Amino acid sequence: MQDRELDVILFGATGFTGRLVAEYLAKHRAAGRWAIAGRNRDKLAALGFAVPIIVADALDPDAMAAVARRTRVVCTTVGPFTKYGSALVKACAEAGTSYCDLTAEVPWMRAMIDAHDAQAKATGARIVHACGFDSIPSDLGTLLVQDEFRRHFGRYADRVTAYYGASRGGVSGGTIASGIEIARASKDARVRSLIANPYALDPDPAVARAPSPDEAGLHWDRKLGRFTLPFVMALSNTRVVRRSHALAGYPWGPGFVYREVMTAAGNARGLVFAAALTAGLGVFQLAMRSDGVRELLAKRLPQPGQGPSRAARDKGFWSLELVAEGAGDRVAYKASDVGDPGYSSTARMLGEAALCLAHDPLTAPGGFLTPATAMGHALAERLRAAGLTLAVTS
Protein backbone atom coordinates (compact mmCIF):
# COMPACT_ATOMS: atom_id res chain seq x y z
CA MET A 1 0.00 0.00 0.00
CA GLN A 2 2.98 2.33 -0.40
CA ASP A 3 1.26 3.93 -3.38
CA ARG A 4 -1.77 5.12 -1.40
CA GLU A 5 -2.36 8.86 -1.46
CA LEU A 6 -2.67 9.13 2.35
CA ASP A 7 -1.35 7.37 5.43
CA VAL A 8 -4.34 8.00 7.73
CA ILE A 9 -7.88 9.26 7.22
CA LEU A 10 -9.64 10.27 10.43
CA PHE A 11 -13.36 9.69 9.87
CA GLY A 12 -15.73 11.56 12.17
CA ALA A 13 -13.37 14.44 12.92
CA THR A 14 -16.20 16.82 13.85
CA GLY A 15 -17.55 14.55 16.59
CA PHE A 16 -16.55 15.08 20.21
CA THR A 17 -13.87 12.41 20.40
CA GLY A 18 -13.00 12.84 16.73
CA ARG A 19 -11.93 16.44 17.36
CA LEU A 20 -9.66 15.31 20.18
CA VAL A 21 -8.01 12.70 17.94
CA ALA A 22 -7.59 15.31 15.19
CA GLU A 23 -5.91 17.67 17.66
CA TYR A 24 -3.59 14.86 18.73
CA LEU A 25 -2.61 13.98 15.16
CA ALA A 26 -2.10 17.65 14.29
CA LYS A 27 0.46 17.99 17.11
CA HIS A 28 2.26 14.77 16.18
CA ARG A 29 5.28 15.50 14.02
CA ALA A 30 5.33 11.98 12.60
CA ALA A 31 1.65 11.86 11.63
CA GLY A 32 2.58 11.77 7.95
CA ARG A 33 0.01 12.34 5.24
CA TRP A 34 -3.37 12.48 6.92
CA ALA A 35 -6.81 13.88 6.23
CA ILE A 36 -10.09 14.48 8.03
CA ALA A 37 -13.42 13.13 6.81
CA GLY A 38 -17.10 13.48 7.63
CA ARG A 39 -20.49 14.45 6.26
CA ASN A 40 -20.30 18.25 6.51
CA ARG A 41 -17.56 20.15 4.66
CA ASP A 42 -18.23 23.42 6.50
CA LYS A 43 -17.88 21.79 9.92
CA LEU A 44 -14.71 20.02 8.83
CA ALA A 45 -13.22 23.25 7.50
CA ALA A 46 -14.15 25.08 10.72
CA LEU A 47 -11.83 22.76 12.67
CA GLY A 48 -8.93 24.68 11.15
CA PHE A 49 -6.54 21.82 10.40
CA ALA A 50 -4.25 22.30 7.41
CA VAL A 51 -4.97 18.86 5.97
CA PRO A 52 -7.16 17.58 3.13
CA ILE A 53 -10.91 17.43 3.72
CA ILE A 54 -12.96 14.47 2.52
CA VAL A 55 -16.76 14.65 2.48
CA ALA A 56 -18.41 11.25 2.84
CA ASP A 57 -21.52 9.77 4.44
CA ALA A 58 -21.05 6.69 6.66
CA LEU A 59 -24.26 5.19 5.26
CA ASP A 60 -23.10 5.45 1.62
CA PRO A 61 -21.22 2.23 0.70
CA ASP A 62 -19.71 3.79 -2.44
CA ALA A 63 -18.39 6.76 -0.45
CA MET A 64 -16.89 4.44 2.15
CA ALA A 65 -15.23 2.39 -0.58
CA ALA A 66 -13.71 5.55 -2.04
CA VAL A 67 -12.39 6.59 1.40
CA ALA A 68 -10.83 3.16 1.99
CA ARG A 69 -9.06 3.13 -1.37
CA ARG A 70 -7.30 6.45 -0.71
CA THR A 71 -5.41 5.58 2.45
CA ARG A 72 -3.33 2.98 4.26
CA VAL A 73 -5.35 3.33 7.50
CA VAL A 74 -8.81 4.55 8.41
CA CYS A 75 -9.28 5.68 12.01
CA THR A 76 -12.93 6.24 12.91
CA THR A 77 -14.88 7.62 15.85
CA VAL A 78 -18.30 7.56 14.17
CA GLY A 79 -20.71 5.75 16.47
CA PRO A 80 -22.94 4.15 17.42
CA PHE A 81 -21.05 1.72 15.21
CA THR A 82 -24.06 -0.58 14.96
CA LYS A 83 -25.80 2.22 13.04
CA TYR A 84 -22.94 3.94 11.23
CA GLY A 85 -19.90 1.65 11.14
CA SER A 86 -20.66 -1.37 8.98
CA ALA A 87 -20.14 0.05 5.48
CA LEU A 88 -16.71 1.42 6.39
CA VAL A 89 -15.51 -1.88 7.89
CA LYS A 90 -16.66 -3.73 4.77
CA ALA A 91 -14.90 -1.21 2.51
CA CYS A 92 -11.62 -1.49 4.42
CA ALA A 93 -11.72 -5.29 4.41
CA GLU A 94 -12.26 -5.30 0.65
CA ALA A 95 -9.63 -2.65 -0.11
CA GLY A 96 -6.87 -4.13 2.06
CA THR A 97 -6.94 -0.98 4.19
CA SER A 98 -6.12 -1.21 7.88
CA TYR A 99 -8.69 0.16 10.29
CA CYS A 100 -9.06 1.12 13.96
CA ASP A 101 -11.94 2.40 16.07
CA LEU A 102 -12.99 2.83 19.70
CA THR A 103 -16.12 0.68 19.80
CA ALA A 104 -17.19 -1.42 22.77
CA GLU A 105 -20.27 -2.80 20.97
CA VAL A 106 -19.70 -6.55 21.28
CA PRO A 107 -22.68 -7.70 19.15
CA TRP A 108 -21.58 -5.44 16.30
CA MET A 109 -17.95 -6.57 16.54
CA ARG A 110 -19.15 -10.19 16.35
CA ALA A 111 -21.25 -9.39 13.28
CA MET A 112 -18.34 -7.69 11.53
CA ILE A 113 -15.99 -10.60 12.26
CA ASP A 114 -18.47 -13.10 10.89
CA ALA A 115 -19.19 -11.04 7.77
CA HIS A 116 -15.73 -9.81 6.76
CA ASP A 117 -12.89 -11.69 8.49
CA ALA A 118 -12.23 -13.97 5.51
CA GLN A 119 -12.08 -10.98 3.16
CA ALA A 120 -9.71 -9.05 5.45
CA LYS A 121 -7.39 -12.05 5.67
CA ALA A 122 -7.36 -12.32 1.88
CA THR A 123 -6.56 -8.63 1.29
CA GLY A 124 -4.21 -8.16 4.27
CA ALA A 125 -6.41 -5.55 5.95
CA ARG A 126 -5.77 -5.36 9.70
CA ILE A 127 -9.15 -4.53 11.24
CA VAL A 128 -8.71 -3.56 14.90
CA HIS A 129 -11.70 -2.67 17.05
CA ALA A 130 -11.56 -1.35 20.64
CA CYS A 131 -8.52 0.93 20.40
CA GLY A 132 -9.42 3.35 23.18
CA PHE A 133 -9.81 3.09 26.96
CA ASP A 134 -11.96 0.17 25.87
CA SER A 135 -9.97 -2.05 25.48
CA ILE A 136 -6.27 -1.17 25.14
CA PRO A 137 -5.38 -1.05 28.87
CA SER A 138 -6.94 -4.48 29.48
CA ASP A 139 -5.77 -6.14 26.27
CA LEU A 140 -2.27 -4.74 26.00
CA GLY A 141 -1.80 -4.87 29.77
CA THR A 142 -2.54 -8.60 29.85
CA LEU A 143 0.01 -9.25 27.11
CA LEU A 144 2.65 -7.21 28.94
CA VAL A 145 2.11 -8.76 32.37
CA GLN A 146 2.17 -12.26 30.87
CA ASP A 147 5.46 -11.48 29.13
CA GLU A 148 6.90 -10.30 32.45
CA PHE A 149 5.64 -13.40 34.24
CA ARG A 150 7.33 -15.60 31.67
CA ARG A 151 10.54 -13.57 31.92
CA HIS A 152 10.61 -14.13 35.68
CA PHE A 153 9.45 -17.73 35.91
CA GLY A 154 9.94 -19.31 32.48
CA ARG A 155 6.24 -19.95 31.91
CA TYR A 156 2.99 -18.05 31.57
CA ALA A 157 0.54 -17.37 34.39
CA ASP A 158 -2.65 -19.40 34.71
CA ARG A 159 -4.68 -16.37 35.69
CA VAL A 160 -4.68 -12.61 35.20
CA THR A 161 -6.94 -10.27 37.15
CA ALA A 162 -7.35 -6.65 36.10
CA TYR A 163 -8.12 -4.35 39.04
CA TYR A 164 -9.47 -1.00 37.86
CA GLY A 165 -8.86 1.54 40.59
CA ALA A 166 -9.73 5.18 41.14
CA SER A 167 -10.62 7.19 38.06
CA ARG A 168 -12.27 10.43 37.07
CA GLY A 169 -13.96 11.10 33.76
CA GLY A 170 -17.06 12.40 32.04
CA VAL A 171 -19.48 10.90 29.54
CA SER A 172 -20.12 12.11 26.00
CA GLY A 173 -23.31 11.90 23.97
CA GLY A 174 -21.67 9.43 21.61
CA THR A 175 -20.93 6.97 24.42
CA ILE A 176 -24.50 7.25 25.67
CA ALA A 177 -25.86 6.68 22.16
CA SER A 178 -23.75 3.53 21.80
CA GLY A 179 -25.00 2.20 25.14
CA ILE A 180 -28.61 2.82 24.14
CA GLU A 181 -28.07 0.99 20.83
CA ILE A 182 -26.70 -2.06 22.67
CA ALA A 183 -29.68 -1.99 25.04
CA ARG A 184 -32.08 -1.86 22.08
CA ALA A 185 -30.35 -4.77 20.39
CA SER A 186 -30.52 -6.76 23.63
CA LYS A 187 -34.27 -7.15 23.18
CA ASP A 188 -33.29 -10.00 20.83
CA ALA A 189 -32.69 -13.21 22.81
CA ARG A 190 -29.82 -14.16 20.48
CA VAL A 191 -28.05 -10.90 21.25
CA ARG A 192 -28.54 -11.39 24.99
CA SER A 193 -27.08 -14.88 24.69
CA LEU A 194 -24.07 -13.54 22.79
CA ILE A 195 -23.42 -10.78 25.32
CA ALA A 196 -23.59 -13.32 28.16
CA ASN A 197 -20.99 -15.57 26.50
CA PRO A 198 -17.53 -14.83 28.02
CA TYR A 199 -15.98 -15.97 24.72
CA ALA A 200 -18.32 -14.00 22.44
CA LEU A 201 -15.46 -12.62 20.33
CA ASP A 202 -13.40 -15.82 20.03
CA PRO A 203 -13.00 -17.13 16.48
CA ASP A 204 -15.58 -19.78 17.43
CA PRO A 205 -17.66 -18.64 20.42
CA ALA A 206 -19.27 -22.06 20.75
CA VAL A 207 -16.07 -23.97 21.53
CA ALA A 208 -15.92 -25.10 25.17
CA ARG A 209 -13.50 -23.08 27.29
CA ALA A 210 -12.59 -22.69 30.96
CA PRO A 211 -15.45 -21.10 32.95
CA SER A 212 -14.93 -17.32 33.14
CA PRO A 213 -18.02 -15.81 34.76
CA ASP A 214 -18.32 -12.05 34.84
CA GLU A 215 -18.14 -10.31 38.21
CA ALA A 216 -21.73 -10.19 39.45
CA GLY A 217 -21.63 -8.49 42.85
CA LEU A 218 -19.68 -7.05 45.73
CA HIS A 219 -16.80 -9.12 47.14
CA TRP A 220 -13.90 -8.81 49.58
CA ASP A 221 -10.47 -9.54 48.09
CA ARG A 222 -8.38 -10.78 51.02
CA LYS A 223 -5.04 -10.66 49.19
CA LEU A 224 -5.65 -7.13 47.92
CA GLY A 225 -7.28 -5.85 51.10
CA ARG A 226 -9.96 -4.07 49.04
CA PHE A 227 -13.54 -4.58 47.94
CA THR A 228 -14.20 -5.60 44.34
CA LEU A 229 -17.29 -4.93 42.28
CA PRO A 230 -18.36 -5.19 38.62
CA PHE A 231 -16.49 -2.91 36.21
CA VAL A 232 -18.87 -1.33 33.73
CA MET A 233 -16.68 -2.02 30.67
CA ALA A 234 -15.72 -5.59 31.59
CA LEU A 235 -18.36 -7.09 29.29
CA SER A 236 -16.40 -5.70 26.35
CA ASN A 237 -12.81 -5.71 27.65
CA THR A 238 -12.82 -9.33 28.81
CA ARG A 239 -14.09 -10.56 25.44
CA VAL A 240 -11.32 -8.66 23.64
CA VAL A 241 -8.61 -10.13 25.91
CA ARG A 242 -9.92 -13.65 25.36
CA ARG A 243 -10.00 -13.11 21.59
CA SER A 244 -6.34 -12.07 21.77
CA HIS A 245 -5.50 -15.32 23.55
CA ALA A 246 -7.40 -17.35 20.96
CA LEU A 247 -5.88 -15.55 17.97
CA ALA A 248 -2.39 -16.10 19.40
CA GLY A 249 -3.01 -19.86 19.56
CA TYR A 250 -3.71 -20.13 23.32
CA PRO A 251 -0.10 -19.62 24.47
CA TRP A 252 -1.23 -19.15 28.09
CA GLY A 253 -2.85 -22.58 28.17
CA PRO A 254 -6.38 -23.91 27.60
CA GLY A 255 -7.33 -23.25 31.21
CA PHE A 256 -6.22 -19.60 31.28
CA VAL A 257 -8.69 -17.33 33.12
CA TYR A 258 -8.98 -13.57 32.74
CA ARG A 259 -11.05 -11.59 35.22
CA GLU A 260 -11.74 -7.87 35.43
CA VAL A 261 -13.14 -5.88 38.36
CA MET A 262 -13.31 -2.44 39.87
CA THR A 263 -11.92 -1.89 43.36
CA ALA A 264 -12.86 0.22 46.38
CA ALA A 265 -11.01 1.00 49.60
CA GLY A 266 -11.04 -1.73 52.23
CA ASN A 267 -12.79 0.34 54.89
CA ALA A 268 -16.34 1.33 55.83
CA ARG A 269 -16.37 4.24 53.40
CA GLY A 270 -15.15 1.97 50.61
CA LEU A 271 -17.84 -0.58 51.44
CA VAL A 272 -20.59 2.03 51.23
CA PHE A 273 -19.21 3.34 47.93
CA ALA A 274 -18.89 -0.15 46.43
CA ALA A 275 -22.35 -1.23 47.57
CA ALA A 276 -23.97 1.93 46.21
CA LEU A 277 -22.17 1.65 42.87
CA THR A 278 -23.00 -2.04 42.50
CA ALA A 279 -26.66 -1.42 43.28
CA GLY A 280 -26.77 1.59 40.98
CA LEU A 281 -25.31 -0.37 38.09
CA GLY A 282 -27.89 -3.11 38.59
CA VAL A 283 -30.76 -0.62 38.65
CA PHE A 284 -29.44 1.13 35.54
CA GLN A 285 -29.14 -2.15 33.62
CA LEU A 286 -32.66 -3.09 34.62
CA ALA A 287 -34.02 0.32 33.66
CA MET A 288 -32.38 0.16 30.24
CA ARG A 289 -34.53 -2.84 29.38
CA SER A 290 -37.53 -0.51 29.25
CA ASP A 291 -38.21 1.15 25.90
CA GLY A 292 -39.68 4.17 27.65
CA VAL A 293 -36.71 4.67 29.96
CA ARG A 294 -34.23 4.32 27.10
CA GLU A 295 -36.03 6.90 24.98
CA LEU A 296 -36.26 9.28 27.95
CA LEU A 297 -32.53 8.96 28.57
CA ALA A 298 -31.82 9.44 24.88
CA LYS A 299 -33.57 12.82 25.04
CA ARG A 300 -32.34 14.04 28.43
CA LEU A 301 -28.68 12.96 28.49
CA PRO A 302 -25.86 14.58 26.46
CA GLN A 303 -26.29 14.21 22.70
CA PRO A 304 -23.69 13.05 20.15
CA GLY A 305 -21.08 15.78 19.75
CA GLN A 306 -21.40 16.85 23.40
CA GLY A 307 -19.06 15.94 26.23
CA PRO A 308 -17.02 17.18 29.20
CA SER A 309 -15.21 20.52 29.04
CA ARG A 310 -11.46 20.76 28.53
CA ALA A 311 -11.03 21.79 32.17
CA ALA A 312 -12.96 18.71 33.30
CA ARG A 313 -11.03 16.45 30.93
CA ASP A 314 -7.71 17.78 32.23
CA LYS A 315 -8.69 16.79 35.77
CA GLY A 316 -9.38 13.22 34.72
CA PHE A 317 -7.23 10.15 35.34
CA TRP A 318 -7.36 6.37 35.50
CA SER A 319 -5.31 3.56 37.01
CA LEU A 320 -5.23 -0.20 36.51
CA GLU A 321 -3.25 -2.98 38.19
CA LEU A 322 -2.95 -6.31 36.39
CA VAL A 323 -1.94 -9.26 38.56
CA ALA A 324 -0.66 -12.46 36.92
CA GLU A 325 -0.62 -15.57 39.13
CA GLY A 326 0.30 -19.22 38.75
CA ALA A 327 1.69 -22.03 40.93
CA GLY A 328 2.22 -19.63 43.83
CA ASP A 329 4.09 -17.04 41.79
CA ARG A 330 2.93 -13.50 41.13
CA VAL A 331 3.74 -10.47 38.98
CA ALA A 332 1.91 -7.13 39.13
CA TYR A 333 1.82 -4.57 36.36
CA LYS A 334 0.51 -1.01 36.37
CA ALA A 335 -1.19 0.90 33.58
CA SER A 336 -2.32 4.49 34.11
CA ASP A 337 -2.72 7.88 32.47
CA VAL A 338 -3.71 11.43 33.27
CA GLY A 339 -6.65 13.04 31.51
CA ASP A 340 -10.24 11.89 31.10
CA PRO A 341 -10.06 8.13 30.37
CA GLY A 342 -12.79 8.05 27.74
CA TYR A 343 -11.71 11.18 25.90
CA SER A 344 -8.24 12.69 26.50
CA SER A 345 -6.59 9.33 27.15
CA THR A 346 -8.65 7.56 24.50
CA ALA A 347 -7.64 10.17 21.91
CA ARG A 348 -3.98 9.41 22.61
CA MET A 349 -4.53 5.67 22.42
CA LEU A 350 -6.61 5.74 19.25
CA GLY A 351 -4.29 8.24 17.59
CA GLU A 352 -1.22 6.15 18.38
CA ALA A 353 -2.98 2.99 17.19
CA ALA A 354 -3.65 4.64 13.83
CA LEU A 355 -0.04 5.80 13.52
CA CYS A 356 1.24 2.38 14.58
CA LEU A 357 -0.84 0.66 11.89
CA ALA A 358 0.28 3.21 9.29
CA HIS A 359 4.00 3.51 10.02
CA ASP A 360 5.39 0.67 12.14
CA PRO A 361 6.86 -2.55 10.63
CA LEU A 362 4.17 -4.85 11.98
CA THR A 363 4.21 -8.57 11.26
CA ALA A 364 0.58 -9.44 12.06
CA PRO A 365 -1.41 -10.85 9.13
CA GLY A 366 -4.65 -9.42 7.84
CA GLY A 367 -7.95 -10.15 9.53
CA PHE A 368 -9.96 -8.99 12.51
CA LEU A 369 -7.31 -8.57 15.17
CA THR A 370 -7.06 -6.97 18.61
CA PRO A 371 -4.73 -4.21 19.82
CA ALA A 372 -2.44 -6.84 21.38
CA THR A 373 -2.33 -9.20 18.38
CA ALA A 374 -2.14 -6.48 15.72
CA MET A 375 0.36 -4.11 17.35
CA GLY A 376 1.56 -5.54 20.67
CA HIS A 377 4.86 -4.15 21.93
CA ALA A 378 5.12 -1.60 19.11
CA LEU A 379 1.96 0.07 20.39
CA ALA A 380 3.13 -0.22 24.00
CA GLU A 381 6.30 1.72 23.17
CA ARG A 382 4.27 4.39 21.41
CA LEU A 383 1.94 4.76 24.38
CA ARG A 384 4.83 5.06 26.83
CA ALA A 385 6.31 7.81 24.64
CA ALA A 386 2.88 9.50 24.66
CA GLY A 387 2.88 9.60 28.47
CA LEU A 388 1.03 6.48 29.58
CA THR A 389 2.49 4.41 32.41
CA LEU A 390 3.01 0.75 31.51
CA ALA A 391 5.39 -0.83 34.01
CA VAL A 392 6.03 -3.71 36.43
CA THR A 393 5.25 -2.87 40.05
CA SER A 394 6.17 -6.14 41.79
Q: 336 vs 148, 226, 260, 320, 391, CA distance in Å?
A: 18, 19, 16, 6, 9
Strand partners, 248: none
pLDDT tens digits for 200-226? 999 999 888 878 888 888 999 998 899
pLDDT the model gives residue 219? 92
Contact yes or no for 80/177 (Cβ under 8 A): yes
- What topology is assigned to 6-133+344-388 in CATH? Rossmann fold (3.40.50)
* Separation CA 71–CA 88 (nearest Å): 13
pLDDT of residue 201: 97
CA distance 8 to 52: 11
Residue 284: its pLDDT value, please? 65
Per-residue pLDDT at 31: 75
- Beta strands of the chain (E only): which ranges? 6-11, 34-38, 53-55, 71-76, 98-100, 126-128, 159-168, 219-221, 226-229, 257-264, 317-326, 329-338, 367-369, 389-392
Low-confidence ranges of the chain (pLDDT < 70): 1-2, 29, 171-178, 283-289, 293-295, 297-305
**pLDDT for the residue 279:** 82
pLDDT tens-digit series, residues 331-350: 999 999 999 998 999 999 99
